[in-house]
Structure 1
Amino acid sequence: MNKFEQGDFYMTTISCTYTGDGETKLVHGPTGSVLETDLPPDNGGKGRRFSPTDLLASAFASCVLTIMGKMAAVRKENFEGTQISIDKIMADKPRRVAEFVLDVTFPAHFTDAQKKLYLSAVNACPVHQTLHPDVKVTVNVK
Structure 2
Amino acid sequence: MVSMTGYYKGDLRTEVTHLKSGNVVITDAPPDNNGKGEAFSPTDLTCASLNSCMMTLMGILAQRENIDLAGLRSEIVKIMHPSPRRILEVQITFTHDNLVATDVQKEKLRRAALTCPVALSLSENVKQTVTFNF
Normalising by the residue count of structure 1, what TM-score does the alignment of the two structures yield?
0.86
1:64 match: 54
1:122 match: 113
Where does structure 2 lack aligned partners over 5 or more consecutive residues?
none
Count of residue pairs the alignment pairs up: 132
Residue pairs, 1:7-26, within 5 angstroms: 13-26=3-16
Match of 1:101 among 91, 95, 119: 91
2:131 match: 140
- Contact kept in structure 2, 1:80 and 1:107, CA below 8 Å: no
- Contact kept in structure 2, 1:40 and 1:51, CA below 8 Å: yes
CA RMSD of aligned residues (A): 1.5
- Contact kept in structure 1, 2:4 and 2:19, CA below 8 Å: yes
* In 1, Cα distance between equivalents of 2:26 and 2:96: 30
Where does structure 1 lack aligned partners over 5 or more consecutive residues?
5-11
How far is 1:49 from its partner? 0.3
* In 2, Cα distance between equivalents of 1:81 and 1:64: 15
* In 2, Cα distance between equivalents of 1:107 and 1:26: 35
- Contact kept in structure 2, 1:106 and 1:115, CA below 8 Å: no
Give the strand-richer structure, 1 or 2.
Answer: 2
1:42 has 2:29 as partner: no
* In 1, Cα distance between equivalents of 2:66 and 2:107: 17
Report which structure shows greater RCO (CA 8 Å, sep ≥6): 2
Normalising by the residue count of structure 2, what TM-score does the alignment of the two structures yield?
0.91
* In 2, Cα distance between equivalents of 1:107 and 1:97: 30
Identity of aligned residues (%): 37
